[in-house]
Amino acid sequence: MKKLFLMGRSEAGKTSLTQALKGEELHYVKTQYTTTEDNTIDSPGEYAESKCFSVGLACFSFEADVVAVVQAADEPFSLFGASLRSFILRPLIGVITKIDSPYANIDMVKQWMINIGCERVFLINNATREGVNELLEYLEGDFPKLTFEQAKFKQDLGLNSWDPLPEGVDYPEHIK
């Protein structure tokens, strides 16, 4: 299973998402710190809300296989901009939580996520687990492990390390 890193403002529903992914009932726990032992790396929303701490998010992201921007469907503005893509060197996805909120504006939040550069957007209600299976399906399995030489080869082709090689292109024999 791919290791997922969650970032987003406080109350976005990151910890609830970790509970929904594990099939647990929601129980409120304020996130005070970040640990990487679990399959999901949860972060306190304050990291995303403060210029001083936000650089920490880049550091945590390097421990993960996939990075998720988590935004509730009823958030009034986005904390993230397209420049995010320059320091998140992992596949970036968006998770919209609280799709059940009476103030939800899913289309707007989805557009923010597309603007940030999220390659997939998942719609989730943590309370009913609606949409959770789609995310679990995406997280199933691992990305193939690359050697340093293979990663450099992909970089020379202008590819991200997680992008598939184009059709008809293969690693040279000596780095296979």
Q: By CB under 6 A, name the binding residues for ligand GTP.
A: 8, 10-16, 26, 28, 30-31, 44-45, 97-98, 100-101, 125-127
Query: Minimal distance in Å, beta carbon 133 to Mg ion?
Result: 22
Stretch that binds Mg ion, among 27-35, 90-98, 133-141, 151-159 (CB under 5 A): 27-35
Q: Write down the least CB distance from residue 106 to Mg ion, Å.
A: 22
Based on the shown chain and the rule CB under 5 A, indicate whether residue 15 belongs to the binding site for Mg ion.
yes
Q: How many CB atoms lie within 10 A of CB 8?
A: 27
Helix (H) or strand (E) holding 59: helix 51-61
Answer yes or no: are the C-beta atoms of 103 and 131 closer than 8 Å. no
Cβ closest to ligand GTP, residue 56 vs residue 89: 56
Asked if 16 interacts with Mg ion (CB under 5 A), we say no
Q: Which does 97 bind (CB under 5 to 8 A by kind): ligand GTP, Mg ion, none?
A: ligand GTP
Which of 31, 39, 78, 161 is in the footprint of Mg ion by CB under 5 A? 31
Residue burial 83-119, b: 16+ Cβ < 10 Å; e: rest: ebeeebebbbbbbbbbbeeeebeeeebbebbeebbbe
Choose among ligand GTP, Mg ion, none what residue 125 binds, the Cβ cut-off being 5 to 8 Å by kind: ligand GTP
CA distance 124 to 166: 33
Candidates 125, 175, 135; CA nearest to 155 is 175
Beta carbon nearer to ligand GTP, 21 or 88 = 21
Q: DSSP E strands: which ranges in 11-78?
A: 40-41, 66-72
Is position 78 an interface residue for Mg ion (rule: CB under 5 A)?
Answer: no
Rounded Cα gap, residues 45 and 48, in angstroms: 6
Write down the least CB distance from residue 159 to ligand GTP, Å. 33
- Note the residues at the interface with Mg ion (CB under 5 A): 14-15, 31
